[in-house]
Amino acid sequence: MKLSFHILIVAALLPIVAFGVTSAPPEHGSSAPGQSETEEHGVKQALEHHLCDATYIEFLGIKAQLPVLFHVDGTPIPLTKHMVFWGVAGLLLLWMGLANARKVGGVPRGFANLLEVFIVFLRDEVVYPAMGESDGRKWLPFFLTVFFFILFANLLGMVPWGVTPTGNISMTGGMASVILILLFGAGVIYNGPIGFLKSFMPPGVPIFIVPILFVIEIIGLFVKAFALCMRLFANMLAGHAVIAVFMVLITSIVIAPISILGAVAISLLELFVAFLQAYIFTILSATFIGMVAHPSH
């Protein structure tokens, strides 16, 4: 129990260390009247570094410019640090799968044992209740991929020099778009095109209400995907924003202890939120897909 508590404290301190080692110091040489402007610039620069995307990556004080991927009508589309860490999350997911694929059979130990806890929980408490055991078995690999992919992306922002790609609405919008495509795809595959359209119209509905209800139900699918996008983005961005604000409030030795304690408390909460938001995105996705695949249920 004591070891687990110490691990939690260390995990909570990591984002604070990350903020401290990656924040650029304010510019020197300013006169006294301009000092407040310089400090304001330093705070703005620190917040932008931790909350905004950029075309460079900083590590150990070294700023590396990222290359341009391609051009669209002469406009360069660069690689950004959120893209890089999104890729890092994918590589971690791939490593986790390959490293544990060799350990199939027998009693799992170490990390494989911890991994089994998450897999069994998601299978029995998330996927099977939403999709049924027969269909849930087919969909389980997808939802496990979604959960661990988002989890790794969430946790990357809690290590020094790391950023949270799920704090970028473009990234969460991409994930939500995949779920939206699967909502339409699962509805058509499981019910057929006509059956999928009929599922929007409950029996006994007056004929003059059918067009309105049909439009509302179609919009509802887009709203579900939009909710997935905004929920994950807002929660991950807000946590890091609060930690950053606590840290930039350190202006004197009197305020420093209060700011650091507040940042530690928010970091512990953020660690919990990283797991919670991965779980919420997964369970809502499974529920939404289950609803369109089996509308009678």
pLDDT tens digits, one per residue of 194-213: 888 888 887 777 888 888 88
What pLDDT, on the 0 to 100 scale, is given for residue 45?
64
Q: Which helix (H) or strand (E) holds 69?
A: strand 68-72
Pairing assessment for the beta strands 62-65 and 56-59 based on DSSP bridges: antiparallel
Pair 68, 79: CB distance under 8 Å: yes
How many helices (DSSP H) and strands (DSSP E) are in the chain?
A: 9, 4
pLDDT digits (tens, 9 = 90+) for 32-89: 344 455 555 555 666 666 677 888 887 777 788 888 888 888 888 888 888 899 999 9
Which two tokens mark 63?
């700023």
Has residue 7 got a pLDDT over 50?
no
Cα distances from 296 to residues 82, 115, 196, 291, in angstroms, run 41, 34, 11, 8
pLDDT digits (tens, 9 = 90+) for 90-111: 999 998 888 776 666 666 677 7
Cα distances from 259 to residues 129, 245, 248, 264, in angstroms, run 43, 9, 8, 9
Which two tokens mark 58?
């900083």
- For 186, left (φ over 0), alpha (ψ -120 to 50), or beta? alpha
Looking at residue 54, the DSSP 8-state letter turns out to be: -
pTM, to two decimals: 0.80
Pairing assessment for the beta strands 68-72 and 75-78 based on DSSP bridges: antiparallel
